[in-house]
């Protein structure tokens, strides 16, 4: 059990952690989320005493580890830390990376340590990489080795600081799969992550960090679906919004579509719907370019918002131009096929004109 | 063509075979190797000590070693050699070879201190922290992580330091030591055919450098480079 009382830490004038009080029970899995620079890493590092707190206590199983006479090496034997950048020992191969601490620190017999390392390598699915060097491995593989290296010390607590932030989506999956396995092993875990779906799934509790502390603390359902406090609400809402700005007719539409796809994947939006979003935006933009920005550079922005409750997608498009509503096209349908399509796809649409800006709100 | 070969063969006989000249050359080679090896050995020890001082938190030690390193690195080894021989040890009847060893130890020690320091500073601090998080004490982490990694970083520079020492020992003739360079020079002077013995001398120095290179390549394996 970890009990943090009245914990404060500042760097110079910057007060990063202010009077944190929190208790983490044995075997609990905590996801730590929050905007950048709110002290998530510092919080984790302080629990490991890599940063010395200015005030307050950290008790692990009843022992206050902030005391001077504590042997931190012994405490850290029972504590694993996994970093965003892996930090494997570059001069050693995979097997040696895993056995180094058991042999040097735990004085384990070489062969016993190797045997154990092989078992761990099978657990993380990398038994055939035992003799490889870190730089020969992909990021995902390196991170799995880093996890195995921690597990070799049989820790009771695991601290993860954005373990997948340096990885691409497939590698992220590999690593999250391993961490998921660990939750079933009764380890106490703190995971700083931007993978909200993962946090939702595996965490028993979520800490939202902001304003120098744990701003809101609750079950994943509390935090993600029903946040109580202002900043948490804003943070969670923002997660579900995709923003994009267009300032040139030659903007990169391929990249825009790719980003929309990635955003939608996070919320398991169906492929057909993704296609509809892309098609709708393209047609609308073409129409507006043609009518409002003939020979001029556009000033346009849109946001896509995903709502959990009814699986609804909203699109908010704004553009600075004279009052122009693309849905009110004259002439016949054949000449305006694009806009006909847009109207068909959208469930609801409206056009507003305020202060020189057109606004189109669409629900899908 | 034939006559060219003959010239070489006669030259070879005249310079290296006659009067067992090759034995004298071997003797000179021995002196060169002795001075280089001992100079390197003590230089490395001195370098280690200077490096420790240089990186220590005690300002006094740091300043002293900084000064020593700056002075020793900045002064030509030949002048150092002559100062030791003609000034510092002028009165004592100490063997000049020992003086040469001292000079080269001092000179290479300063270089090696800097090689060691830059290697130690180049070690990835994040890996060190990872080790501390696994329960390594500072000392254990130094021996398990810092030292082997710094060793690998320093290796190529250390190798060229050795080759430098070997070549710079060719100036010890100035303080009456008969090393390899002086030997081949003497032979050339005696036979009046300097080209062959001097060229042969270069070959021997090349051989020594190659030997150093070969020694360093032993045990080179896949995970070598960091
Ligand atoms: N060693 C340090 N010295 C000085 N300032 C630091 C140090 N470590 C962190 N900080 C500062 O403390 C604040 C919190 O940093 P921290 O790394 O914990 O943020 P974070 O929540 O982990 O952000 P991110 O999501 O970007 O990783 C930042 O403003 C950072 O600049
Ligand atoms: Mg961080």
Share of chain B above pLDDT 70, in %: 96
A88 touches chain B (CB under 8 A): yes
**Distance of CA A160 from the midpoint of ligand 2 (Å):** 10
Q: Select from B174, B182, B181, B180 the least CA-distant residue to B84.
A: B174
Q: How confident is the model at residue B1 (pLDDT cuts 50, 70, 90)?
A: low
From the CA of B125, how many Å to the nearest CA of chain A?
A: 9
HSE value, Cβ hemisphere, 13 Å, CA-based, for A347? 8
The pLDDT assigned to A240 comes to 83
Span B64-122, pLDDT tens digits: 999 999 999 999 999 999 999 999 888 888 899 999 999 999 999 999 999 999 999 99
From the CA of B152, how many Å to the nearest CA of chain A?
A: 8
Distance CA A102, CA B198 (A): 58
**Atom of ligand 1 at shortest range from CA of A35:** 25
Share of chain B above pLDDT 90, in %: 69
Give the three-state DSSP class for B165.
Answer: helix
The ligand minimizing its distance to the Cα of A160 is 2
Would the CB atoms of B140 and A105 count as touching at under 8 Å? yes
Tokens of B142: 């130094």
Higher-confidence residue of B221 and A192: namely: A192
A153 touches chain B (CB under 8 A): yes
A1 touches chain B (CB under 8 A): no
A77 touches chain B (CB under 8 A): yes
Parallel, antiparallel or unpaired: strands A312-320 and A79-82: unpaired
- Closest residue on chain A to B124 (Cα): A87
Region class of A306: left (phi > 0), else alpha (psi between -120 and 50), else beta: beta
A154 touches chain B (CB under 8 A): no
Q: Where are the domains of chain A?
A: 2-233, 240-363
The pLDDT assigned to B226 comes to 44
The pLDDT assigned to A331 comes to 65
Span A324-341, pLDDT tens digits: 898 887 767 777 788 888
Show the ligand 1 pocket: residues with CB < 6 angstroms: A 11, 14, 16, 36-42
HSE value, Cβ hemisphere, 13 Å, CA-based, for A38? 20
Distance CA A152, CA A175 (A): 17
Would the CB atoms of A93 and B152 count as touching at under 8 Å? no
From the CA of A90, how many Å to the nearest CA of chain B?
A: 6
Q: How confident is the model at residue B223 (pLDDT cuts 50, 70, 90)?
A: very low
Span B174-216, pLDDT tens digits: 988 889 999 989 888 888 888 888 888 999 999 999 999 998 8
Q: How confident is the model at residue B220 (pLDDT cuts 50, 70, 90)?
A: low
Span A27-75, pLDDT tens digits: 999 999 999 999 999 999 999 999 999 999 999 999 999 999 999 999 9
The pLDDT assigned to A356 comes to 87
Would the CB atoms of B223 and A76 count as touching at under 8 Å? no
Mutate which of A8, A10, A11 for ligand 1? The one with the most ligand atoms within 8 Å of its CB, which is: A11
Residues with Cβ within 8 Å of residue A348, at least 6 apart in sequence:
A362, A363
Mutate which of A14, A45, A48, A207 for ligand 1? The one with the most ligand atoms within 8 Å of its CB, which is: A14
Angle at B118 between CA B116 and CA B124, to 5 degrees: 110
Find which of B122, B125, B133 to mutate to test the A interface (most A CBs within 10 Å of its CB). Answer: B133
- Residue A22 host element (H or E): strand A14-24
The ligand minimizing its distance to the Cα of A17 is 1
Would the CB atoms of A50 and B145 count as touching at under 8 Å? no
CATH of domain B29-217: 1.10.3720.10
Find which of A52, A91, A136, A153 to mutate to test the B interface (most B CBs within 10 Å of its CB). Answer: A91
The pLDDT assigned to B17 comes to 77
**Distance of CA A39 from the midpoint of ligand 1 (Å):** 5
Would the CB atoms of A105 and B135 count as touching at under 8 Å? yes
Distance CA A146, CA A87 (A): 8
Q: Where are the domains of chain B?
A: 29-217
The pLDDT assigned to B219 comes to 58
State how far the alpha carbon of B193 is from the alpha carbons of A154, A248, B21, B145, B190, in Å.
75, 82, 14, 56, 8
Q: Is the distance from CB of A361 to CB of A349 less than 8 angstroms?
A: yes
Mutate which of A36, A42, A50, A212 for ligand 1? The one with the most ligand atoms within 8 Å of its CB, which is: A42
Averaged pLDDT of chain B: 90
Annotate B61-75 with b (16+ C-beta within 10 A) or e (fewer).
beeebeebbeebeee
A240-363 fold: Heat Shock Protein 90 (3.30.565)
pTM value is 0.81
Mean pLDDT of B25-37: 94
Ligand 1, atom 9, lies closest to the CA of A42
Q: Between A110-123 and A94-104, two packed helices, what is the crossing angle to 10 degrees?
A: 130
The pLDDT assigned to A136 comes to 95
A96 touches chain B (CB under 8 A): no
The DSSP call for residue B74 is H
DSSP class per residue in A97-150: HHHHHHHHTS---HHHHHHHHHHHHHHTT-GGGTT--GGGS-HHHHHHHHHHHH
A76 touches chain B (CB under 8 A): yes
Task: Evaluate whether ipTM surpasses 0.90.
Answer: no
A89 touches chain B (CB under 8 A): yes
Q: Is the distance from CB of A277 to CB of A267 less than 8 angstroms?
A: no
Q: Select from B8, B5, B43, B6 the least CA-distant residue to B196.
A: B8
Phi, psi of A86 (to 5 degrees): 70, -55
A90 touches chain B (CB under 8 A): yes
Would the CB atoms of A87 and B145 count as touching at under 8 Å? no
Would the CB atoms of A87 and B132 count as touching at under 8 Å? no
Q: Is the distance from CB of A17 to CB of A46 less than 8 angstroms?
A: yes
Q: How many CB atoms lie within 10 A of CB B104?
A: 26
Query: Does the pLDDT value for residue B222 go beyond 60?
Result: no
Nearest to B124 among A90, A93, A101 (CB): A90
Distance CA B214, CA B136 (A): 35
The pLDDT assigned to A241 comes to 87
- Closest residue on chain B to A134 (Cα): B223
Span A7-27, pLDDT tens digits: 999 999 999 999 999 999 999
Distance CA B91, CA B74 (A): 27
**Atom of ligand 1 at shortest range from CA of A42:** 18
H-type helices in chain A, by residue range? 40-47, 72-77, 94-104, 110-123, 139-151, 169-183, 196-202, 220, 230-239, 253-266, 271-292, 337-345
A87 touches chain B (CB under 8 A): yes
pLDDT tens track, chain A, 364 positions? 999 999 999 999 999 999 999 999 999 999 999 999 999 999 999 999 999 999 999 999 999 999 999 999 999 999 999 999 999 999 999 999 999 999 999 999 999 999 999 999 999 999 999 999 999 999 999 999 999 999 999 999 999 999 999 998 888 988 999 999 999 888 999 999 998 889 998 999 999 999 999 999 999 999 998 999 999 999 988 888 888 998 888 888 898 999 899 888 888 888 898 999 999 999 999 888 888 888 888 899 999 988 776 778 899 999 998 898 988 877 677 777 888 888 888 889 999 998 889 999 999 8
Distance CA A260, CA A305 (A): 11
Angle at B223 between CA B217 and CA B226, to 5 degrees: 95
> Structurally, what CATH architecture does the domain formed by A2-233 represent?
3-Layer(aba) Sandwich (3.40)
Q: Select from B125, B43, B30 the least CA-distant residue to B77.
A: B43
HSE value, Cβ hemisphere, 13 Å, CA-based, for A351? 13
- Chain A residues within an 8 Å CB radius of B129: 50, 87
- Chain A residues within an 8 Å CB radius of B122: none
- Chain B residues within an 8 Å CB radius of A73: 132, 135-137
């Amino acid at each position: 059990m970890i009990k943090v009382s009245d914990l404060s830490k500042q760097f110079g004038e910057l007060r990063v952690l202010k009077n944190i009080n929190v208790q983490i029970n044995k075997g609990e899995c905590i996801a730590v989320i929050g905007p950048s620079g709110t002290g998530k890493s510092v919080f984790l590092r302080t629990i490991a005493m890599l940063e010395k707190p200015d005030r307050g206590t950290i008790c692990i199983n009843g022992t206050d580890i902030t005391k001077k006479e504590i042997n931190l090496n012994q405490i850290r034997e029972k504590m694993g830390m996994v970093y965003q950048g892996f930090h494997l020992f570059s001069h050693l191969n995979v097997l040696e990376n895993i056995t180094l601490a058991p042999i040097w620190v735990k004085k384990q017999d070489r062969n016993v340590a190797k045997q154990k390392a092989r078992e761990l390598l099978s657990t993380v699915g990398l038994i055939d990489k035992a003799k490889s060097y870190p730089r020969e491995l992909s990021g995902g593989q390196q991170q799995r080795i880093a996890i195995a290296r921690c597990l070799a010390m049989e820790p009771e607590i695991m601290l993860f600081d954005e373990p997948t932030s340096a990885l691409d989506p497939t590698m992220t999956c590999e690593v999250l799969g391993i961490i998921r396995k660990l939750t079933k092993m009764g380890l106490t875990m703190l995971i700083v992550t931007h993978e909200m779906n993962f946090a939702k799934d595996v965490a028993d509790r979520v800490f939202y960090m902001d304003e120098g502390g744990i701003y809101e603390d609750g079950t994943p359902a509390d935090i993600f679906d029903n946040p109580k406090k202002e900043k948490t609400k804003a943070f969670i809402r923002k997660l579900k919004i995709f923003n994009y700005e267009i300032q040139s007719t030659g903007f990169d539409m391929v990249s825009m579509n790719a980003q929309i796809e990635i955003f939608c994947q996070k919320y398991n939006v169906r492929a057909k719907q993704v296609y509809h979003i892309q098609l709708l935006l393209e047609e609308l933009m073409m129409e507006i370019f043609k009518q409002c920005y003939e020979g001029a550079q556009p000033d346009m922005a849109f946001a896509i918002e995903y709502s959990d409750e009814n699986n609804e997608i909203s699109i908010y498009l704004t553009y600075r131009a004279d009052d122009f509503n693309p849905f009110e096209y004259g002439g016949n349908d054949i000449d305006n096929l694009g806009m006909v399509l847009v109207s068909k796809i959208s469930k609801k649409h409206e056009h507003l004109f305020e202060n020189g800006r057109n606004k189109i709100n669409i629900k899908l | 063509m034939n006559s060219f070969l003959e010239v070489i063969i006669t030259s070879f006989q005249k310079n290296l075979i006659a009067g067992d000249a090759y034995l004298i050359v071997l003797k000179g080679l021995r002196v060169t190797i002795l001075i280089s090896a001992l100079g390197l050995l003590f230089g490395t020890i001195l370098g280690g000590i200077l490096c420790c001082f240089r990186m220590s938190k005690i300002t006094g030690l740091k300043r002293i070693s900084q000064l020593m390193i700056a002075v020793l690195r900045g002064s030509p080894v030949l002048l150092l050699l002559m100062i030791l021989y003609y000034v510092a040890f002028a009165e004592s009847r100490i063997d000049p070879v020992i003086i040469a060893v001292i000079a080269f130890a001092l000179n290479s020690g300063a270089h090696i201190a800097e090689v060691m320091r830059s290697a130690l500073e180049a070690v990835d601090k994040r890996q060190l922290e990872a080790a501390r998080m696994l329960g390594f004490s500072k000392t254990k982490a130094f021996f398990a992580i810092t030292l082997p990694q710094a060793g690998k970083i320093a290796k190529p520079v250390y190798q060229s330091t050795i080759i430098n020492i070997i070549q710079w020992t060719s100036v010890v003739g100035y303080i009456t030591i008969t090393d390899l360079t002086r030997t081949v020079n003497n032979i050339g002077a005696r036979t009046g055919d300097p080209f062959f013995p001097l060229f042969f001398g270069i070959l021997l120095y090349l051989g020594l450098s190659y030997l150093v290179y070969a020694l360093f390549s032993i045990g080179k394996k896949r995970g070598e480079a960091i």
